[in-house]
Chain A
């Protein structure tokens, strides 16, 4: 028996469960416009669900941020990140008319239908898929905020151009750090990768390319302590974690690729999150709240890949679609329970 935790209070635009306004309620609200959200949209649209995608500010999601995607199936020669993002976006719009570039400010999953508020108003849906993904972790060191946009960046494809023939430092040791570091060698005359351990987490093929690139240099067992500069960045102070030695690396830019944080602040207290803020889901992408699902990086701390996100988006949409009859039924029952006896 599904428990919808119907809210007792009346909200101004929705007096309790307004069965009379069924037509203004979406079957499915998809929060997030990356591969997960957009694939969910494709499946939802094809299942004839009335759906809306609140795509936020980056159409296509983070895959748009990288120059070349070589491991998404179907593209033997690889595909440009922006190109892949755009295609998925187009395909989604083919099946779901309402794809809007709005970000979510607040949600209420205790209410029924579920409430999702953006800058333009409140969307109501019978089911929801959370697919908000992740955003870059910051170093949290002095100089980072001050010089953001003036030598500090988290987007190599955006800002690489400005470092033509200059020196850059990349902080990190995973796939992104190495991949974007390699991308930066197209512009910079020198790319120094600083990593806090003595070996990279990045996939072997990327490591091979990186070590073979004459413009790339690695500084091991080292963390960044402070970003230095005047009008723009001119160096980064670092510390060797093994020897404790402090030194300064001269550089014109610092690109930070040290990991990703799930975008779940707005869902705190609404769905169960794990210790690191990722949404907890089962194999059907269900959260602890009936009718609320999650897909993509936001619920996957371990395998954050575009194809995995797309797959989980499809599952979530199919699960949402299958849950609808049960949800409608339970909703009607609750409405009857609350209706005044005549």
Chain B
């Protein structure tokens, strides 16, 4: 029983028809599959079939530890969306519900290597001298969440100093608790700065700066 029905599959095919370049969906799971690992793997494999430019690679988190480390993958299920280069675009947890569009967005951005940010945003990111880790906590039924996820991924594509993760809060409750996620989307920057809701580019950039000068809130 496929996850994507005919209609949805056809739509996805259409969305990806002009995919600019080859994209690898590198997925990490494990032998004793975690709750959503099997479904995530299925999703990745089905999506990969909908474009000649897409390939699915499935690794075992434990056995293929080297690959996991190379891609900085530290929990599963994980999907690294990799194009001609690795921009640091990750999905932790199954990108289902609203987050499916975030996955398609990521594939397109990575394929073209185009972040789609404003000129000012590109300039601000070009000045980064320290690494930035953006984690966007979501739940699958949160309609505002893809906006925040896409923003994070845009910045990851735009700058080699930035990597961004979608983190599905229901699958990683300990992580959600650690960052006191009680409302989504919640964006956590370098573990110290927080944004509630889907914020516009300028606000996210401001928070980035704050996080880097260590002015983040203790919460």
Given contacts A82-B98, A161-B170, contact A57 B147 (CB under 8 A): yes
Q: Does B174 contact A (CB under 8 A)?
A: no
A60's nearest neighbour on chain B, judged by CB, is B143
User: What are the interface flags for A49-76 relative to B under an 8 Å C-beta threshold, 1 for contact and 0 otherwise?
Assistant: 0000000011110001101000000000
Contact yes or no, A151 B142, CB < 8 A = no
Instruction: Chain A residues near B57: list those with CB within 8 A.
Output: none
Contact yes or no, B144 A159, CB < 8 A = no
Contact yes or no, B219 A150, CB < 8 A = yes
Q: Does A148 contact B (CB under 8 A)?
A: yes
Q: Does B198 contact A (CB under 8 A)?
A: yes
Cα A119 to Cα B205 in complex, Å, equals 15
Instruction: Chain A residues near B2: list those with CB within 8 A.
Output: none
Give the residue of A58, A119, A148 whose beta carbon is less than 8 angstroms from that of B196: A148
Cα A266 to Cα B144 in complex, Å, equals 22
User: What is the number of contacts between chain A and chain B, taking CB atoms within 8 Å?
Assistant: 73
Cα A58 to Cα B185 in complex, Å, equals 13
Contact yes or no, A90 B143, CB < 8 A = no
Q: Does A149 contact B (CB under 8 A)?
A: yes
Contact yes or no, B143 A58, CB < 8 A = yes
A159's nearest neighbour on chain B, judged by CB, is B183
Instruction: Chain B residues near A323: list those with CB within 8 A.
Output: none
Q: Does B181 contact A (CB under 8 A)?
A: yes
Given contacts A57-B198, A82-B97, A119-B200, contact A65 B143 (CB under 8 A): yes
Q: Does B186 contact A (CB under 8 A)?
A: yes
Instruction: Chain A residues near B142: list those with CB within 8 A.
Output: 155, 157-159
B138's nearest neighbour on chain A, judged by CB, is A158
Cα A155 to Cα B141 in complex, Å, equals 10
Contact yes or no, B183 A231, CB < 8 A = no
Q: Does A232 contact B (CB under 8 A)?
A: yes
Contact yes or no, A82 B141, CB < 8 A = yes
Q: Does A300 contact B (CB under 8 A)?
A: no
Contact yes or no, B180 A158, CB < 8 A = no
Instruction: Chain B residues near A148: list those with CB within 8 A.
Output: 183, 196
Q: Does B118 contact A (CB under 8 A)?
A: yes
Contact yes or no, B118 A161, CB < 8 A = no
Cα A148 to Cα B182 in complex, Å, equals 9
B195's nearest neighbour on chain A, judged by CB, is A149
Instruction: Chain A residues near B183: list those with CB within 8 A.
Output: 148-150, 152-153, 155, 158-159, 162
For the complex formed, measure the closest distance between the CB of B49 and the CB atoms of chain A, giving whole angstroms: 21
Contact yes or no, A155 B200, CB < 8 A = no
Instruction: Chain A residues near B180: list those with CB within 8 A.
Output: 150, 231-232
Chain B residues 171-212 with CB under 8 Å of chain A are 176, 180-186, 194, 196-198, 200-201
Cα A159 to Cα B194 in complex, Å, equals 17
Cα A159 to Cα B170 in complex, Å, equals 11
List 6 A–B pairs whose Cβ atoms lie within 8 Å, in order of A's numbering: A59-B143, A64-B143, A150-B182, A152-B183, A158-B143, A161-B139
Beyond contacts A67-B141, A119-B118, A159-B182: 15 other A-B pairs, Cβ-Cβ < 8 A, are: A58-B147, A59-B143, A85-B143, A90-B11, A120-B118, A149-B194, A150-B219, A151-B182, A155-B142, A155-B183, A157-B143, A159-B142, A161-B169, A161-B170, A253-B182
